[in-house]
Amino acid sequence: MKLNRRTLNIALASATLSSLLPATAFAQKKPVLGFAQVGAESEWRTANTESIKSAAKEAGIELKFSDAQQKQENQIKAIRSYIAQKVDVIAFSPVVESGWDTVLLEAKAAKIPVVLTDRSVNTKDDSLYVTFMGSDFVEEGRKAGRWLVEKEKGNAGPINIVELQGTVGSAPAIDRKKGFEEIIKADPKFKIIRSQTGDFTRAKGKEVMEAFLKAEGKKINVLYAHNDDMAIGAIQAIEEAGMKPAQDIIIISIDAVKGAFEAMMAGKLNVSVECSPLLGPQLMAAVADIKAGKPLPKRILTKEGIFPMEVAKAEFPNRKY
């Protein structure tokens, strides 16, 4: 093939140029993601953190990570530090629904896109975030309610329920309560006689269940816990009170973490509604799309099931968290 002089000169020039620049100059700069995590309050959260860290590594995304110990002011501080560091994308799981507009406006002014994962925020301005990826907590509450209605369809009642709520003001606590009540309100035999936050932790779940048992004792027929960790804490309290969990008191919880499957296989928990923490891969795909200038849907929904104790043994080997 005859190469003309012009082509030869271009080839020569680019060869010279590339020999002068360090190899890294041509390597794509790694996207930098700043992630402000809620804390480490539950098995679910631990699995969520693991999913995000491993997916970032897998995707070649540089991850800056912070743990807010369930305090909003710490998450806001972390987001501000990511803005100052000029990261490419900011993502976080808002510990509570409200109080985010100011810091999200700062991120918008700095032209740093924000992704909400797991929990959403209360804002009138949905331009403050690119997308919200996570579960439908209202539907999780409905699934819990539907399971109970089915379970108790032959029972005339009254059926007294105590409720361990998640973190006050958090989207999962608000919505899981809403969905559950939407279903049980159809039948007056169901009555929530006590409802208090256990802040999604085992320790607090046990403490509050002890108080419920002291106040209501054998009147309690059902415990509805907004997550497995509080249910597992409550199981300890029920046993220490000399009662049989999942028999004397029916126990319904949410997350479907390994601890819940172990409790179901031990016959101490009746059912767990799945809420997947494995959001890491979806988040990294969103970061890549944002960097590539691709549009994202405002809402990315996680699909999930429900696991009664009868299927726990068979399902357990398939569990990824």
Q: Which residues bind ligand GZL (CB under 6 A)?
A: 41-42, 44-45, 118-119, 134-135, 172, 200, 227, 229, 254-255, 275
* Residue 286 φ then ψ, to 5°: -65, -40
Coil, strand or helix at 85: coil
**Of 44 and 92, which has the nearer Cβ to ligand GZL?**
44
**Of 152 and 255, which has the nearer Cβ to ligand GZL?**
255
> Cβ of residue 137: shortest distance to ligand GZL, in angstroms?
7
Categorise residue 21: left if φ over 0, alpha if ψ from -120 to 50, beta otherwise. beta
> Cβ of residue 302: shortest distance to ligand GZL, in angstroms?
9
> Cβ of residue 310: shortest distance to ligand GZL, in angstroms?
23
**HEC letters along 100-141:** CHHHHHHHHHCCCCEEEECCCCCCCCHHHCCEEEECCHHHHH
> Cβ of residue 233: shortest distance to ligand GZL, in angstroms?
12
**Of 176 and 194, which has the nearer Cβ to ligand GZL?**
176
> Cβ of residue 134: shortest distance to ligand GZL, in angstroms?
6
**Of 76 and 232, which has the nearer Cβ to ligand GZL?**
232
DSSP 245: B
**What gap in Å lies between CA 304 and CA 9, rounded to an integer?**
60
* 150, burial (CB in 10 Å: exposed 0-12, middle 13-18, buried 19+): exposed
Determine the residue with CB nearest ligand GZL.
44
* Residue 177 φ then ψ, to 5°: -70, -45
**Of 160 and 227, which has the nearer Cβ to ligand GZL?**
227
